[in-house]
Amino acid sequence: MSLIDDYRLLEIPTHASAHEAKTAFRRLARLYHPDKNPGIDTTEHFQRLQAAYQNVLDAIKTNTPNTNWKPYQFTQASATHAPRYAHYSSSSDKEQAAFIKERQQAYEEMKRNSAQQEKTRNEAIKNARNTFNEKRVKALYEEAFKASKGFSSKGFHSEEHKERQPEDAAPFTQFDIPPYDNFVDEPAPSAHYSVKKPIRLHAAKAAFRTVTYLACFAAGIYATLYWQDSAQSNSPESHTTPYISGLYPQYRSGINYTLVNTKLFAEPDTNTKQLISIPALVDLQGIKEQGDWLTVRYQGISGWVQAQDIGFGSAQNALETGCIGQPGIAPRHGQLMGSATGHSRLRILNQLQQTSILQFQSYDGLPPFSIYLRAGQAYAANFIPRGRYRLVLETGSLYHQACNQFLFNDTNQVVLNDVEFASTEQSLTLRN
């Protein structure tokens, strides 16, 4: 948004003074303040008013020339011009109306024909599907009926089994139901009778045992793989931040250090000659970055190393801070680091020229949390829990995810001590 848009947002002329700008800003602030509009979210418009007021003040203080600014005026057609079409014919209008009516009738007829064809097609598909389903059910019924002929109340009996039955055995009825005397409790006979189990029962039990063994075996393999995966996920190496190509190229020139045993090549290619092997956590001099390769100098020898094996800064600084590994992508503006669920509000007017982290340290024993702020960007925090806090500002460059701090130029200072957040909105201005 340009400076003239800021003047228009404040509803003041471009030649207004600082006093007029301040008066207009206070009037609009009382009108659009979030506390005065509980039913409407005016936070974004209020922040735009703050930014516009600051830009106008800076322009007035620096005496920015604005006398030649004029809003753009669109040209308008003259109302006195003659109409474009001065003559018309009633006969041509009637012919055009008849033509349109004829086309409309043709379109309606086409729609009726299409609907009739679609209805006929759907009925044909439905009849064919019903016929197919009827044939399939009939075939299944006939197959089941044929298979049921070999079964009885005592299991499966084939023709060969019938031939082996004793001749004096009582014949079965049509449904093969044993007589009532078979269900009466009698003393066990002295003679031993062999019991023949149905063939299908043996097969079912064998299949059940096989499936059970296979299921137990598969469960054991799955438990082993799950334990190995869980052990790998809990190891320290699994939580390292992955390498991102092209991240922070401005910090590749200067002191860097090796993350692992690194091979120094003569050319940026793993198939070329290897000069030496550099041990882990050793400082080297970075010269130039080219893609995923980095030109370095180590003990007087220059060569190429893979950028994914090189960390930012010195090895001593990494060991002291615990920021070992790749830094990862920086958080977005206003990202909450930690947990905070509340309704107190803080308006932050950020005029810092570097990235920063605003830490909230609770006097009431609540979990601490932080807000990541990019340089020169304001933010409205509407989630602060009620209570008393100490606000600590941490500034620096190159944020590292592993240790949640800046690698370079890391400074801390207390900006507010023992401030209470309640229903009233607080405001904070951050300056260098």
* pLDDT (tens digit per residue) in 379-389: 999 999 999 99
Higher pLDDT, 172 or 429: 429
Q: Quick one: pLDDT at residue 32?
A: 86
Closest to 286 (Cα-Cα) out of 316, 257, 261, 246 = 257
Q: What is the pLDDT of residues 85-141, one digit of tens each?
A: 455 566 788 888 888 988 899 999 898 888 888 888 888 888 888 888 888 888 887
113 vs 17, 107, 118, 235, CA distance in Å?
Answer: 76, 10, 9, 71
pLDDT of residue 333: 94
pLDDT(167) > 70: no
- Name the band, by pLDDT with cuts 50, 70 and 90, for residue 286: very high
- All domains of the chain in start order, with CATH: 3-61 (1.10.287.110), 249-321 (2.30.30.40), 336-430 (2.60.40)
| Predicted local distance difference test score (pLDDT) of residue 200 | 66
* pLDDT at 154 > cutoff 60: no
Share of residues in the chain with pLDDT > 90 (%): 36
DSSP-assigned letters across all residues of 254-310: EEEEESS-EEEESSSSTTS-EEEEEPSS-EEEEEEEETTEEEEEETTEEEEEEGGGE
For residue 172, is pLDDT > 50? no
Distance of CA 274 to the CA centre of its chain: 42
Q: Distance (Å, rounded) from C-alpha 426 to C-alpha 348?
A: 9
- Determine the pLDDT at residue 176: 46
pLDDT higher for 220 or 327?
327
Instruction: With H, G, I as helix, E, B as strand and everything else as coil, classify residue 70.
Output: coil
Calpha distance 379→64 (Å, rounded): 28
pLDDT of amino acid 130 = 87
DSSP 3-state of 230:
helix
Alpha carbon separation from 155 to 125, 159, 161, 196, 198 (Å, rounded):
44, 13, 11, 10, 5
Residue carrying structure tokens 């977005």: 332
Position 93 scores a pLDDT of 82
Single out the residue of 403, 387, 290, 278 nearest to residue 337, CA to CA. Answer: 403
Under 8 Å between Cβ of 325 and 355:
no
Q: Which residue has the higher pLDDT, 228 or 383?
A: 383
Give me the chain's average pLDDT, please: 81
Q: What is the pLDDT of residue 42?
A: 85
Helix extents (H) in 62-155: 90-148
Residue 280 has pLDDT above 90, yes or no: yes
d(CA 382, CA 345): 4
Q: Which residue has the tokens 């064809």?
A: 117
User: Which pLDDT band, with edges at 50, 70 and 90, does 169 fall under?
Assistant: very low
Report the alpha-carbon angle 238-240-245, nearest 5.
125
- Arithmetic mean of pLDDT, 297-314: 93
- In 3-state terms, the chain is what percent helix, strand and coil (to 5)? 40, 25, 40
pLDDT at res. 178: 47
pLDDT at 18 over 70: yes
Look at residue 213 in the predicted model and tell me its pLDDT: 81
Residue 191 has pLDDT above 70, yes or no: no
Least trusted range by pLDDT, from 52-61, 218-227, 329-338: 218-227
pLDDT at residue 136, as a whole number: 84
pLDDT band of residue 278 (cuts 50, 70, 90) is very high
Report the pLDDT averaged over residues 207-231. Answer: 80
Residue 1's pLDDT is what? 63
Confidence band of 359 (pLDDT split at 50, 70, 90): very high
Choice between 312 and 134, residue whose per-residue pLDDT is larger: 312
The pLDDT confidence band at residue 265, using thresholds 50, 70 and 90, is very high
